[in-house]
């Protein structure tokens, strides 16, 4: 028996298959991604099974409902060919649950209708997450579909952190901070709890990638995070601006910019790409070496340091700093620069161990005399989503309740 965890994007589908053993979710045995699912695209499926990598171009025959439907059928055949894996549920990563969904739920028509109301809060993700769920419901009607929310991990943040300084009427409409990357933070926190007693203390986790955020936890509970009402706030990202003076938006409106142009600027033309004018990929910027590339890297690093300092203040100190995400797991230079800037906390990085971190397993990179532990923890959002789905199945929450709609 196994849980299939998926993350549907605008033109891609990530997937991982997690066996269930004695009721416990195991690390994935199959993982992969289908790219090129946009209309008119040429989809290609890459996957890894038992250490072996495979790639296959997926032909889309004339008359096919969509390239996504073709990909799902190929995924079904692939999974069934792997020792007869018996899928118990499909677990979907959904970026925004608003203030309504603070834990994972079975997907129903009513749930989908409610989640669609949050599309404007995460336009790069939410509509595509929901479109993926609809496609899976059609392709796998016999399986329960479970929605797992990136916002849920932050549901218990104190009001002083989640509330904006706006009139009550707007707060009552749901205009507040929600926070994201919750599935990643949930996984990193579970690893820290298993690796170190300090993981139950004052922890700052840095999920650094194309999307980037920080989260402050105390006793395993999120108390503050850099992302807010949408996935735009906080750190500078690959193509997103991060925190921005609202006066800039008022200025752009006065200059005649409309909603669509502003949205494109903030979500797709800013961040590392906007500052450098070269790329949103940190690896490409490191390799470029130009002044523009260095400017973007320096600004990204500075924002991580600045926001980490703010979260340390929220925690009244720091016991553990953990790096995750594509940049956090793989960019040793950034980790070293950030940690050196935070040396005032008593934090000391071990340069050799930092270089040895390979992004495949949790790895401590603090020096013996460091008063703060530093970890690199490769994240696994799919495994968390699979755990959430397995917990729903185990809880006995009736599927017929989910089927009411």
Q: What's the CATH code of the domain at 156? A: 3.30.420.40
Residue with the bigger pLDDT between 12 and 405: it is 12
- Residue 260: inside a domain, yes or no? no
Task: For tokens 């997690």, name the residue.
Answer: 18
Residue 234 phi/psi, 5-degree rounding, is 90, -125
The reply, when asked if residue 285 is annotated as ligand binding, is no
CA distance 351 to 283: 20
- Residue 215: inside a domain, yes or no? no
- Residue 134: inside a domain, yes or no? yes
CB 327 within 8 A of CB 272: no
The reply, when asked if residue 340 is annotated as ligand binding, is no
**CA 22, 32, 101, 24: dihedral to nearest 10 degrees?**
10
Give the per-residue pLDDT at 39.
82
Give the residue-averaged pLDDT of 77-95: 88
- Residue 313: inside a domain, yes or no? no
Is pLDDT above 50 for 403? no
Give the per-residue pLDDT at 252.
98
Give the per-residue pLDDT at 83.
63
Give the per-residue pLDDT at 116.
95
Give the per-residue pLDDT at 120.
87
Give the residue-averaged pLDDT of 314-320: 98
- Residue 182: inside a domain, yes or no? no
- Residue 103: inside a domain, yes or no? yes
Q: Which domain holds residue 125?
A: 2-177
The reply, when asked if residue 73 is annotated as ligand binding, is no
Distances (CA, A) of 330 to 109, 273, 302, 369: 40, 19, 18, 24
Number of folded domains that form the chain: 1
Catalytic residue flag (residue 380):
no
- Residue 36: inside a domain, yes or no? yes
The reply, when asked if residue 93 is annotated as ligand binding, is yes
CA-nearest of 287, 129, 265, 104 to 186 is: 104
Q: What single-letter DSSP state applies at residue 60? A: -
Task: For tokens 């696994």, name the residue.
Answer: 380
Residue 256 phi/psi, 5-degree rounding, is 95, 5
Q: Which of 22, 109, 150, 350 is catalytic?
A: 150
The reply, when asked if residue 129 is annotated as ligand binding, is no
CA distance 186 to 304: 20
Give the residue-averaged pLDDT of 112-141: 92
CA distance 349 to 369: 9
The reply, when asked if residue 328 is annotated as ligand binding, is yes
The reply, when asked if residue 282 is annotated as ligand binding, is yes
The reply, when asked if residue 99 is annotated as ligand binding, is no
Lowest mean pLDDT among 124-128, 167-171, 223-227: 124-128
The reply, when asked if residue 211 is annotated as ligand binding, is yes
- Residue 139: inside a domain, yes or no? yes
């Amino acid at each position: 028996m196994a849980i299939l965890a998926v993350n549907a994007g605008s033109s891609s589908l990530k997937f991982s298959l997690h066996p269930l053993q004695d009721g416990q979710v195991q690390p994935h045995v199959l993982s992969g991604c289908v790219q090129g699912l946009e209309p008119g695209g040429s989809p290609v499926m890459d996957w890894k099974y038992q250490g072996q990598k495979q790639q296959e171009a997926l032909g889309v025959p004339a008359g096919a409902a969509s390239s996504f439907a073709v990909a799902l059928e190929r995924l079904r055949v692939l999974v069934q060919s792997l020792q007869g894996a018996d899928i118990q549920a499909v677990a979907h990563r959904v970026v925004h649950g608003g203030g309504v969904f603070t834990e994972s739920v079975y997907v129903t028509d009513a749930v989908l209708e409610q989640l669609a109301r949050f599309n404007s809060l995460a336009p790069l993700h939410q509509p595509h997450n929901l479109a993926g769920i609809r496609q899976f419901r059609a392709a796998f009607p016999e399986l329960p579909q479970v929605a797992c929310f990136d916002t849920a991990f932050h549901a218990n943040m104190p009001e002083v952190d989640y509330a904006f300084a706006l009139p009550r009427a707007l707060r009552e409409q749901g205009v507040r901070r929600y926070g994201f990357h919750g599935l990643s933070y949930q996984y990193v926190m579970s690893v820290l709890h298993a690796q170190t007693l300090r993981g139950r203390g004052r922890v700052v986790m840095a999920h650094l990638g194309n999307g980037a955020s920080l989260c402050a936890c105390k006793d395993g509970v999120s108390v503050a995070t850099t992302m807010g009402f949408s996935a735009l706030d906080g750190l500078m990202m690959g193509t997103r601006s991060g925190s921005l003076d609202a006066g800039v938006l008022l200025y752009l409106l006065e200059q005649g910019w409309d909603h669509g142009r502003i949205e494109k600027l903030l979500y797709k033309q800013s961040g590392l790409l906007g500052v450098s004018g070269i790329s949103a990929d940190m690896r490409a910027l490191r390799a470029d070496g130009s002044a523009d590339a260095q400017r973007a890297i320096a600004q990204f690093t500075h924002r991580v340091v600045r926001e980490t300092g703010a979260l340390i203040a929220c925690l009244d100190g720091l016991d553990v700093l953990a790096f995750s995400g594509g940049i956090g797991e793989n960019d040793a230079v950034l980790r070293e620069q950030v940690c050196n800037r935070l040396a005032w906390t008593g934090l000391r990085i071990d340069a050799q161990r930092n270089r040895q971190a390979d992004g495949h397993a949790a790895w401590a990179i603090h020096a013996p005399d460091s008063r703060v532990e530093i970890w690199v923890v490769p994240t696994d959002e799919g495994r968390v989503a699979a755990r959430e789905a397995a917990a729903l199945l185990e809880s006995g929450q009736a599927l017929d309740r989910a089927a009411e709609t």
